Amino acid sequence: MVNDRYNAEQSLLGCLIGNHDRAVGVMPRLFDDLFGEPRHKKIFQAISHLSANGKGVDRDTVSGQLKIWGKLRDVGTNYVYELTESGSSPHNIESYADIVIEGYTKNRIHYLGLKMQSDFTNGILDVDDYLGGLVGELAMLKEGKEGIRIYKTEEILREVSEELKEGFRGIPTGYRDIDNIIIGLCFGELTLIGAEPSVGKTALSLNVADNISRVDPVLFVSLEQGRQSIFRRQVCSNARTLNSKELRRGKLSEEKQKEFDGVGRVIADDRELYIVERSDLNISQFRSIVDLACSRYKTRVVFLDYVQRMRPTNPRQDERAKMIEISSGLKAIAKARGIAVVALSQFARLRGRVPANSDFKESGSLEADADVAWLLHRPYLTALDDDGEKYETRERDPKTDLMISKNRDGETGHVKLYFHKEKTRFELLTANGR
């Protein structure tokens, strides 16, 4: 068996020429830059061109294509023939491809290491952007090394059959009525929670995150609130008598402080909730944070609060292009990592109107990329003025309508919730109205 990249390139090309049935299995994994020898790269380009245009790939057609491009002399008139006579076995084509890809990957990592050393010597503008780009390149290398798989239905049958035997395929949110509709948060899927300001997006997402973190590691990335504010909310929603105003004001009574310390200790001991606070973040940096959390803490669910606060990778992008980049990136992260990603989206003021999926349209392709969408609606309470006329107060109704407005693999529907403002906690609305 060959054990070096150059010989593996020769053997691989020799097998690709004239062995169509074997070649189709590895071609999706291959690209020009895998081949370190310039002659080999040109030959592969000819093979790839012929294959893409539905033409036969043999030593005559490859040589002919190279001649048309004016590259045959560079390659060598007889070199294509020599490759097919090298004695490489088509049965080993996968092994040859593995060695070539492995060699390319090692060379690329070596190059990135040298580039990093040079960049730090010469000075870099933004460390966060640089690290985000570096992690992105390494992730692409990993994906390229693993290649593209085409699955037989027989394999898929086994996977789905096992899922059915195991039963519930999603992660329960802790809200029975929501789980009855969406079957929990599902791995590889992007879920959106959309609402106008001050309705309770963050509170609901934290309630769900708190519920899940009792059994599964959860990452909560906040671009709006600090870690201490998030923790105070978490304590408040779990406490018996503490309320949000007391925790914001501080200087608790001895009894209240004792309750805070006790509830806080339970959360610290019994929850696996990891918090990242950033004032801004681009999708590359977010991917790096998720990669770290998944590898270090085995995170399976990630919350992002909220997408409009993310910044574009390219500062010259307009808002729509930025949101397209972010939404497609969030979806790609969910699929690549096999995790559930929950992203919050803030709508413009709706002026009393019930939210709809069309409100996501202002945020590029968010709704199109999402697998599941939740919409929160809490109208303002009304009162009567001195003349007996109704007017809207500045206080929102605690009774909340949660609409599952999109569910790619299942039902849509409505769930009635009640928001305890002083506890920053949503609960299912019971038959008697509370």
DSSP code string of 21-34: HHHHHHGGG--GGG
- The larger pLDDT score, comparing residue 90 to residue 205, is at 205
**Integer CA distances (angstroms), 239 to 4, 124, 207, 226, 419, in order:** 63, 47, 13, 20, 15
Query: Is residue 328 a contact partner of residue 291, using CB atoms and an 8 Å limit?
Result: no
Query: Is residue 307 a contact partner of residue 360, using CB atoms and an 8 Å limit?
Result: no
DSSP line for 118-137: HHHHH--S-HHHHHHHHHHH
Task: Kindly report the CATH class assigned to 5-146.
Answer: mainly alpha
Instruction: Kindly compute the dihedral angle of the four CA atoms of residues 73, 79, 81, 84, in this order, to the nearest 10 degrees.
Output: -140
Mean pLDDT over 30-35 rounds to 82
Distance CA 47, CA 56 (A): 9
* Amino acid letter for position 332: A
Residue 45 has which token pair? 């380009």
Please determine, for residue 319, whether its predicted confidence score (pLDDT) is greater than 80.
no
Query: Is residue 283 a contact partner of residue 323, using CB atoms and an 8 Å limit?
Result: no
Instruction: Kindly compute the dihedral angle of the four CA atoms of residues 307, 311, 316, 318, in this order, to the nearest 10 degrees.
Output: 20
Query: Is residue 233 a contact partner of residue 203, using CB atoms and an 8 Å limit?
Result: yes
Per-residue pLDDT at 218: 92
Please determine, for residue 434, whether its predicted confidence score (pLDDT) is greater than 60.
no
Please, which residues have CB within 8 angstroms of residue 7's CB and are 6 or more apart in sequence?
none
Domain ranges in the chain are: 5-146, 167-428
Q: Quickly count helices (H) and strands (E) in the chain.
A: 17, 11
- The larger pLDDT score, comparing residue 432 to residue 291, is at 291
Please determine, for residue 236, whether its predicted confidence score (pLDDT) is greater than 60.
yes
- The larger pLDDT score, comparing residue 385 to residue 313, is at 313
pLDDT band, very low/low/confident/very high, at 148 (cuts 50, 70, 90): low
Largest Cα span, the chain: 99
Please, which residues have CB within 8 angstroms of residue 69's CB and are 6 or more apart in sequence?
42, 46
Query: For 263, how many CA atoms within 13 A lie in the half-sphere containing its CB?
Result: 21
Per-residue pLDDT at 237: 81
Per-residue pLDDT at 124: 60
Mean pLDDT over 84-88 rounds to 77
pLDDT band, very low/low/confident/very high, at 320 (cuts 50, 70, 90): confident
Pick the range with the lowest mean pLDDT from 156-160, 212-216, 295-299. Answer: 156-160
Pick the range with the lowest mean pLDDT from 15-24, 326-335, 407-416. Answer: 15-24
Backbone angles phi, psi at 11, to 5 degrees: -65, -40
Mean pLDDT of the chain: 80
Pick the range with the lowest mean pLDDT from 47-61, 220-234, 402-416. Answer: 47-61
Distance CA 353, CA 347 (A): 12
Which residues face 138 on adjacent strands? none
Please determine, for residue 389, whether its predicted confidence score (pLDDT) is greater than 80.
no
**pLDDT single digits (tens) 251-276:** 777 887 888 888 788 888 888 889 88
167-428 homologous superfamily: P-loop containing nucleotide triphosphate hydrolases (3.40.50.300)
Pick the range with the lowest mean pLDDT from 159-173, 330-344, 407-421. Answer: 159-173
pTM confidence score? 0.66
Which of 382, 403, 395, 401 is CA-nearest to residue 421? 395
Per-residue pLDDT at 301: 93
Which of 12, 29, 17, 27 is CA-nearest to residue 65? 17
Mean pLDDT over 93-100 rounds to 86
Mean pLDDT over 418-429 rounds to 84
**Integer CA distances (angstroms), 422 to 175, 236, 267, 307, in order:** 20, 8, 19, 26
Please determine, for residue 393, whether its predicted confidence score (pLDDT) is greater than 80.
no
Distance CA 382, CA 393 (A): 6
pLDDT band, very low/low/confident/very high, at 205 (cuts 50, 70, 90): very high
- The larger pLDDT score, comparing residue 322 to residue 393, is at 322
**What is the percent of the chain where pLDDT is above 90?**
7
Residue 49 has which token pair? 């061109």
- The larger pLDDT score, comparing residue 140 to residue 39, is at 39
Pick the range with the lowest mean pLDDT from 84-88, 128-132, 388-392. Answer: 388-392
Mean pLDDT over 113-130 rounds to 69
Per-residue pLDDT at 432: 45
Neighbours of 79 (CB within 10 A): 19
Extract the runs of DSSP E, i.e. beta strands, from 75-195.
190-195
Mean pLDDT over 58-77 rounds to 88
Please determine, for residue 33, whether its predicted confidence score (pLDDT) is greater than 90.
no
Query: Is residue 366 a contact partner of residue 349, using CB atoms and an 8 Å limit?
Result: no
